[in-house]
C-alpha cells in the first residue's frame, strides 16, 4: 500500500523537498499555526456562510461545474477576500522555499495561480483523477515542473469526509496512465497541515461519505511566471487593494514584471517599460 510521507513544517526545507522529489507529494504538518489558522477561518466564515452549494451555471463551462459537483461551497479569489491569506498564507516562508526549489529552474519568478477554498459537504462525490498542470495542455511534453500545488486543511481531513487522494510516484508516470484504487492514498491530516504536490502528480478531491460533516480546505498553487494563471488576480485583487499588501504578495499576484534578462531572455508584464510595482508603490496605478 502506498503512503504519503509526513514532515513537520519546522523541519529543514530540504527534508520536505527530498520527499517531494521522490514521491511527487508530501504532507507538511502544522504549516499554519493555531493562531494563523483561527484568524484565517474567521475571515472565511461569513463568506462561506453566504456561499450556496452547487453551481447554478456559475462556472465557465459545464465540465468545470461537473468537476466540482453539486455539494461544494466555493470561495474563489481568496487573496481579494482575506487579508490574512494575502499577507501571511500566500507568502508563507515554508511554501515559498519549496516553490523556489521547484519552479525557479524554469522561470525568473513565479506567480500565484489559484487560491480557492472548497468546503465539500456530505454527498460530495470524488473528483476524477487528474494532474493540475493539464490546464496548460498546449505545453509540449516533456517539460520541467511548472506548477507547485497544495491543499491546506482548514478543518480535519479524513478519508470519510473528502480528504484529497493522491497517487505517490505518479509524477514519473507516462502521460495517460491512470491509477488503480490501491495506488491512491487519502491525505488525512489535522487542521493547519497541508498536502503539497507537483502539478504533474495525479490526485483528486475525495468523496464525502459522512452524514453531516463538511470538509473545509484551500487549494492553492504557484506557477512559472511566464504562464497565464487560472484566476485573474487583477480583477479579484484590483490595484487599490493590492497597493496595501506586502510587496512579495504583489509580486505573486502578478503586479511585478517577469524579468529574465539576466538569463538571456526578455521581460513580460512591463508598464511603460518599467516594473509595475514601482508605479503601484508611487500611486500611479
Q: Which of 128, 117, 98, 122 is nearest to 24 (CA)?
A: 98
- The grid coordinates of residue 221 equal 498553487
Q: Which of 38, 145, 165, 14 is nearest to 89 (CA)?
A: 38
Beta bridge partners of 215: 120
Which DSSP letter does residue 264 get? T
Average pLDDT, the chain: 94
How many CB atoms sit inside 10 A of residue 141's CB? 9
Beta strand segments in 99-146, E: 110-120
Q: How many residues does the chain have?
A: 285
CA–CA distance, 16 with 6 (Å, rounded to integer): 9
How many CB atoms sit inside 10 A of residue 134's CB? 11
**Mean pLDDT, residues 132-141 taken together:** 95
- The model's confidence at residue 225, banded by pLDDT at 50, 70 and 90, is very high
- The grid coordinates of residue 218 equal 484551500
pLDDT-wise least confident of 19-28, 43-52, 158-167: 43-52
pLDDT value at 239 more than 70: yes
Please check whether residue 134 is in contact with residue 219, taking contact to mean a CB–CB distance below 8 angstroms.
Answer: no
CA–CA distance, 267 with 25 (Å, rounded to integer): 32
**Mean pLDDT, residues 245-254 taken together:** 97
- The model's confidence at residue 66, banded by pLDDT at 50, 70 and 90, is low
Considering Cα of 47, then 52, then 57, then 62, what sign does the dihedral take? positive
- The grid coordinates of residue 48 equal 462561506
CA–CA distance, 215 with 161 (Å, rounded to integer): 6
CA–CA distance, 123 with 161 (Å, rounded to integer): 9
CA–CA distance, 271 with 245 (Å, rounded to integer): 19
Which 3 state secondary structure label does DSSP give 217?
A: strand
Residues 6+ apart with CB under 8 A from 201: 24, 25, 131, 149, 166, 167, 170, 171
CA–CA distance, 270 with 257 (Å, rounded to integer): 5
Q: What pLDDT was estimated at residue 250? A: 98
CA–CA distance, 23 with 115 (Å, rounded to integer): 24
**Mind listing the pLDDT tens digit for each residue in 1-44?**
479 999 999 999 999 999 999 999 999 999 999 999 999 999 99
**Mind listing the pLDDT tens digit for each residue in 186-214?**
999 999 999 999 999 999 999 999 999 99
Distance from chain centroid for Cα 216: 14
Amino acid at each position: 500500500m502506498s503512503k504519503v510521507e509526513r514532515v513537520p513544517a519546522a523541519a529543514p526545507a530540504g527534508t520536505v523537498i527530498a520527499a517531494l522529489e521522490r514521491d511527487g507529494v508530501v504532507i507538511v504538518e502544522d504549516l499554519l499555526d493555531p493562531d494563523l489558522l483561527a484568524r484565517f477561518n474567521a475571515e472565511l466564515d461569513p463568506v462561506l456562510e453566504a456561499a450556496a452549494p452547487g453551481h447554478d451555471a456559475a462556472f465557465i463551462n459545464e465540465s468545470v461545474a461537473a468537476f466540482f459537483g453539486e455539494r461544494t461551497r466555493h470561495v474563489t479569489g481568496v487573496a481579494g477576500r482575506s487579508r490574512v491569506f494575502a499577507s501571511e498564507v500566500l507568502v508563507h516562508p515554508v511554501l515559498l522555499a519549496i516553490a523556489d526549489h521547484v519552479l525557479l529552474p524554469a522561470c525568473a519568478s513565479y506567480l500565484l495561480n489559484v487560491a480557492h477554498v472548497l468546503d465539500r459537504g456530505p454527498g460530495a462525490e470524488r473528483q476524477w483523477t487528474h494532474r493540475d498542470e493539464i490546464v496548460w495542455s498546449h505545453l509540449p511534453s516533456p517539460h520541467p515542473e511548472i506548477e507547485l500545488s497544495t491543499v491546506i486543511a482548514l478543518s480535519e481531513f479524513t478519508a470519510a469526509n473528502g480528504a484529497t487522494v493522491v497517487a505517490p510516484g505518479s509524477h514519473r508516470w507516462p502521460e495517460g496512465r491512470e491509477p488503480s484504487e490501491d495506488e491512491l492514498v487519502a491525505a488525512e491530516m489535522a487542521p493547519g497541515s497541508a498536502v503539497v504536490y507537483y502539478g504533474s502528480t495525479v490526485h483528486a478531491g475525495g468523496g464525502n461519505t459522512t452524514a453531516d460533516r463538511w470538509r473545509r480546505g484551500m487549494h492553492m498553487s504557484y506557477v512559472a511566471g511566464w504562464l497565464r494563471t487560472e484566476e485573474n488576480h487583477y480583477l479579484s485583487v484590483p490595484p487599490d487593494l493590492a497597493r496595501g499588501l506586502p510587496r512579495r504578495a504583489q509580486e505573486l499576484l502578478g503586479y511585478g514584471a517577469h524579468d529574465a534578462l539576466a538569463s538571456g531572455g526578455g521581460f513580460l508584464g512591463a508598464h511603460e517599460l518599467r516594473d509595475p510595482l514601482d508605479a503601484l508603490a508611487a500611486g500611479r496605478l
